[in-house]
Every structure is written in structure tokens, then in C-alpha cells.
Amino acid sequence: MAGSFVAVRGTSRSSLKQNGRGGLADPPLSLAMPTVVDLQKTAELEKFLVEAGLYEGEEESAKREEVLREIEQIVKEWVKQLTIQKGYGEQMVKEANAALFTFGSYRLGVHGPGADIDALCIGPSYVKREEDFFVTLHATLLEMEEVTELQPVPDAHVPVMKFKFRGIPIDLLYASVSLPVIPPDFDISQGSVLCDVDEATVRSLNGCRVADQILRLVPNAENFRKTLRCLKYWAQRRSVYSNVTGLLGGVSWALLVARVCQLYPNAVPSMLLSRFFRVFTLWQWPNPVMLCTIENDDSLGFAVWDPRKNHRDRSHVMPIITPAYPCMNSSYNVSTSTLRVIMEQFQFGNKICQEIELNKASWGALFEPFQFFEAYTRYLVVDIVADDDDDLRLWKGWIESRLRQLTLKIERDTKGILQCHPNPCEYADPSIQCAHCAFYMGLSRKEGMKIHGQKFDIRGTVDEFMHEIGMYTLWKSGMDLAVTHVRKKEIPSYVFEQDCQKTYPPTPICASQQDQSDKNDTDLCTTAVSLDVQLKRKYDSDGGADVESCKTVRRASVTSACEEALTQLHDDANFGLTNCSTSPHGSEESSVSGNSCAAVDTISLVDETSILGYLMPNVENDPTQTILEPTPVECVVEKDERKLEGIESSANRNCTEFMEVAEVVTGTILTENVH
């Protein structure tokens, strides 16, 4: 059992080449060894991570191991009891077994205090996911005092049971393999485990298989872990860590860090961190990031990522390919909007690392939180409400899983001009005691687009999104949401408590001292009331004691003003966006039918590209060419009217040769091998 929970150490590069499978993608860019300065900066970086509280204590670590042992014993006993119930013989009952493996940050050894544990239970062929795992095991866990917040998600892309066991968050997956008995030394890395299983089982199994492969493919597992811990923390601070909302999740960050470790096998964490931003600031997407060559196994027949054959793969804008068969794109959720956001943050990280190398900044500057509510002038707010916390957990999970679709629909309906930055954090007004939360999405115009009086009406877009939300099969009365827009100055103060302090006082929605230039916006705010404001008003008016008060406010902001005409904007720097607020379900408390729109006015987005960076030029490469033939791309950096050329991307060699040994740091040209 214990061996299942210990991260596999990386093997040598020579041994990888000898196995003949999953060969390394490309040779390193540099074999340079760290200098004394590099070692000193690494020590400073590690000190910063410790002071930031990114490492859990021995007591919590021991508790995690104990919890895993208890869960393993529970699933073993569960399989044994099912074997008896299904009428198998005495010998079969005696041999009945289950295996428990970890994956994700815990498997990779980069988890922090309070982090969840991703675990996979592997059972025999006769123990099924639908009727056994999500029914009988769910019932067993439901009766245990140690288990709280139990949430089955059987319809997820990767079916999962979420819960807390003695306070430790657990995401438990299940895979039924084509074996009558699970041996004690079950090897999940063997391709045979994928025989005669469905795609959901393959996805469940590959979490562990990918984690193990990553650790085998990096030249130094310890340097990889330290660098990945830094990047995960950085991504969370910079609001770009979230797979579900269309940003990058844990697997994608691990793959990107592993690739940089391969390119610089002798580098220490401080070097790897700066080179990470240098490499991926210049990376020409949609050229794929791969740790090894893509393996195809015709005998198993699962589809692997291949834009030449699979039409869907051609639409991926930021492919980061998993190393275990069947190879998949871990970042398929990324859209053009979220790619822009990620690239802006890579540029920010690269700039700060250059300053650190010149002793003009400290590591703390790199990890400064992203000022999300300062970066844009307009936001979409998705307010969610339910009758109780259990319903909210289910309802919120469903809506959060569909937020990416709202981003894609807005991109589609505005021809990519209006772009969204979803904030991974959720917010709740502490003064409102009913179950509710809200998600925010920053709105910006695509960089470089010159709009002459153009306006966008996304009422239909939001209606389509709400219709899809309304298809939730577990919907209950009391579950509802509203989609509205707000100006930056209307952001409630409580949203800043989690990550940063508000740098300006909250402005009343109808301040009498408002500038005349903001008059239209003020008029808009009087009619566009978001759900959390409605909740507050209703809660206050009812004395704050009855949770039932939350039910009747679902569409309080829905008015007949939907019929108002849009105001034409003539400012070249502005464009219009209609305000939307709608409910996915009808309500006995409201006479208004579903899918209505709130009062309409215009939103003026005045050049509000994120203040921290600009769009990288879009790569117009035909995705089918990314692994068919080389696609050289020049990356030109100016320095005193001179240009450095020849930083090329070669897609059929996994795009590594584009990073020549030239570097530009604030006007000083450094060569990689001068150390």
C-alpha cells in the first residue's frame, strides 16, 4: 500500500533512451552548470517559499498518510463485501482486492497545506462505476462520521467522488480494469491495464500514469518539484491557475515545467524559473509542448492527440500533450481569450525575472498578486444562489464547469473582438447568510482592433448559456443565477479580502458627484442590479432571519426595459455591450417567464486591455502543419536598432530549436553557455 503513495523517482536519460518507448522529444538547449550566483538565488527562492507557508508540517503530512491508509482499507473491504453480495465463491472472496493510487500534486510531491488529495481506486472487472462505486460505496461513505461534504459527480468528464475525510479534501476516482482479481503488486504503468475499458476509465487511469511518466522523464526530480511548487504558487497569485475556467490546471503546469527541466537538465530552480518564462514568452502557439514522442498503439485503438486526423484537435490553441498513452491535450479548455491572459502573465514573469537577474528586484516582486479588479473597467458577474450549502455545492460545480462555454460563446458571437478573463476565485458576501457565491469575468477588447462605432449585443449569447445551465439534471427549486455586468467602481469591497486590498473607496452606484462623462454609466447602474445586491436588499428587508428570502429574488431585476434601443457610440475607442441578467428556470414567485433580459444600456470599454501586458501576436499557422512540417517563426528583439534573428520554432521537432542561445536582458545580450 505504501508504495502506491510514494512518488516515483525520475530515471536517467540514458535508461529512457534504452527502453525504446516514448523517446525524449529533443536534446537539451543548454548543459550549463549553475554558478555561485545561481545557487545563492536558489537559496533565496527556497527561503521565500518556506516563509510563504508552501510546505506542510510533519503533523499534517502524517495525517494525510494515515487518511490514505484508512481510505484504502475502506475500498478493500467494500470490494470484498460486493464480491460476497454478487455470489462469488469462497476463494474469490478471499482474493478480492482493490488498489489505491494517488496522482496530481500529491503524487508529484508538490502539494501544500490544505491541498486536496487526488486518489484512484482500482477494482476488478465485476465492480462497476455506475452501480457500485457511485451507489454502494457512496452509501458507505455517507454513513461515516469521518466523511463530510460528500459530493458525487458521475457525469463529469472524469467521474469523481468529492469529500473530506477527517478534514482532508479527497477527490476519489474509480477504474474497473479487465482483471477478476487485483494483485497486491498491481502495476498501473503497463499498457495492458487499458485493455477492454471505456474512455472514462482511461481518463481515470491516466492521471496516475501521467504523473509517473513526468517523474521518469525529468532529469532531476527534486529540481523539478521545487520549480513546479514555485510556478503553481505564482500561477495562483497571478490568477491563471484553473483548468475548469479555461486557464491552466495542475497537469499542464507540471508538463510545462518538466519541458523546461528537459531543455536545461543541469539548471537549479532559480535558473529554471527564469528560463521557464523566457521559453514560453517566445513559444509560438499552437505548436505543441511534448515531453516525448507521441506513442500510438493500434492494438488498443484509443485516439491520441493528432490534428492531422482529429478535426477537434485542430481547434486547440495551446496544446500541452500528456506523455502517457493515449496522449491527450491537457489544456484543451484554453481559448483565445484565456491564452491572451496566460501570455500576458508569462511576459510579466519574464520581465520580473530579468530584473531579478540584474539585482533590481527580489523574488517577492514575482509573486505579487494580480490586481484583477484593477486590470479591467468592465466585468461580467455570475451570481449563484441555492437553498442550502449542499445544493449550492452541486449547483455551483455545474455552473463553474460551464463558465468556459460562456467565454467561448462571447468570443464566437463577437468574432473574437470581445475577450474574457475568468477569475478562478469565487466570492460571497459575508453579510448575507443564505447560500450564494459569485464569479467574475474581466472584459477587454482584443488588442489592436480599431472599432468605429461598433456595438455588441450579447443578450442572445447569455440566453444560450442560461439555456444550457438549465439542462442540469439535478436542478432543484431554489437553485438560480443571474448574469450581469458591473463597472470597476461598483465591485463590492468584500471581494478584495481574499487576495488584495482595494486601492480606492467603494463608489455609490448613483453618486451625485459623478462626472458628466460617466452619466450614461450611472444610468446603467440604476437598472443593472446584480443578484448579490438583490439578495442583500431582500435579506435586509426580511430581517435577516429566513433563508427562504433568497428564493424570491431570482429575477427581481428582470424588467421590460429589454425593449430599449441601444445607444450608438461614436467614439472610436468605445464599443457597446448590452447588460444581461437572466434565470435558467421559471419560478412560481415570478410572473416573468424564463430567459429574460435585464434593463439594457451600453458599456464603454475604453482601451482596457490588461494593464500588465499586451497580446502576443496570434499565430495563424494551420494546426495541421504543427507536426507535419517545420514552421519557422522569427522572433525579433530590438537593441540599439539591431535585431537578433534566428530564434526559430520547429514544430516537427517539438518546437525546441526556436530557443537559440541568445538572450536579451534589458539591453544586455547574454549567451547561454558563457557560465
Tell me which residues are annotated as active site. 105, 116, 118, 171, 232, 241
Quick check: helix, strand or coil at residue 466? helix
Task: Provide the CA 55 distance to its chain's centre, in angstroms.
Answer: 22
Q: Which residues, 6 or more positions from 593, have their beta carbon under 8 angstroms from its beta carbon?
A: 586
Q: Distance (Å, rounded) from C-alpha 481 to C-alpha 595? A: 11
Q: Which of 432, 410, 338, 427 lies closest to 605 in space, CA to CA?
A: 410
Q: Distance (Å, rounded) from C-alpha 8 to C-alpha 102? A: 11
CA distances from 672 to 34, 52, 264, 449, 662 (A): 11, 31, 10, 37, 7
Cell of residue 587, nine digits: 419560478
Q: Distance (Å, rounded) from C-alpha 497 to C-alpha 261? A: 36
Q: Which of 616, 623, 664, 624 lies closest to 640 in space, CA to CA?
A: 664
Single-letter amino acid, residue 493: S
Cell of residue 23, nine digits: 523517446
First to last CA, the chain: 45
Q: Which residues, 6 or more positions from 322, have their beta carbon under 8 angstroms from its beta carbon?
A: 206, 210, 213, 251, 255, 328, 329, 330
Task: Provide the CA 462 distance to its chain's centre, in angstroms.
Answer: 22
The torsion of the CA quartet 462, 438, 411, 448, rounded to 10 degrees, works out to 130
Q: What are phi and psi of 592, to 5 degrees?
A: -90, 135
Q: Distance (Å, rounded) from C-alpha 279 to C-alpha 28? A: 13
CA distances from 249 to 232, 239, 246, 333, 475 (A): 9, 11, 9, 10, 28
Contact 197, 179 (CB under 8 A): no
Q: Distance (Å, rounded) from C-alpha 51 to C-alpha 597? A: 49
Q: Distance (Å, rounded) from C-alpha 120 to C-alpha 172? A: 6
